[in-house]
Amino acid sequence: MLKLKNIWKVLSVGLLLRHGLVSVTCASSDFAIFYLTFTIFQLSLFFSYSIAFFFTAFIGFVGHSFFTFKVQFNSLRNFIFFLLQLCLGFLIGFIVLNFFIQLGIRVEYSKILQLFCTFFFNVIFGRFISFRQVN
């Protein structure tokens, strides 16, 4: 008979919940910062996107390193792959955001759609490359 702890570990439910918590925190911060800088301070789309992205990227790196994947900066490899993930995520996200805006979707809704789209890239890249345990 499997113990509850073993089932939890096998299903990785804990990992999913921790990833979800950090991701929701990052997405909420990203949206709020983007919205404020773009609509209130009227910065350009690129600068608003950049400020929000890099602020929440820092939160995401620390949150996923210590809380989600618990790698605790154990490797330069993790950091280098996170930088690659960061650059690719930045590029993909800005392209996706522009795409939705060009379709005529309001900026607020475009940002939400962009966050959902890039979430899947970040989960896969983070889980299997950036935050993989190194022995």
- Prediction pTM value: 0.78
Q: Three-state DSSP class for 67?
A: helix
Q: What one-letter code names the amino acid at 81?
A: F
Give residue-wise pLDDT tens across range 58-100.
898 888 778 777 765 556 777 788 788 889 999 999 999 999 9
Please write the tens of the pLDDT for every residue from 24-34.
999 999 999 99
Alpha-carbon distance of 2 to 6, in angstroms, equals 6
**Taking the alpha carbons of 16, 19, 20, 21 in that order, is the dihedral positive or negative?**
positive
DSSP secondary structure, the chain, as one string: ---HHHHHHHHTHHHHHHHHHHHHHHHHHHHHHHHIIIIIS---HHHHHHHHHHHHHHHHHHHIIIIIS--TT--HHHHHHHHHHHHHHHHHHHHHHHHHHHTT--HHHHHHHHHHHHHHHHHHHIIIIIT----
pLDDT surpasses 90 at 42: yes
Q: How far apart are CA 111 and CA 98, in angstroms?
A: 9
C-beta of residue 73 within 8 angstroms of C-beta of residue 59: no
The pLDDT of 103-130, averaged and rounded, is 87
pLDDT for 10 equals 47
Please report the pLDDT score of residue 19 as a whole number: 79
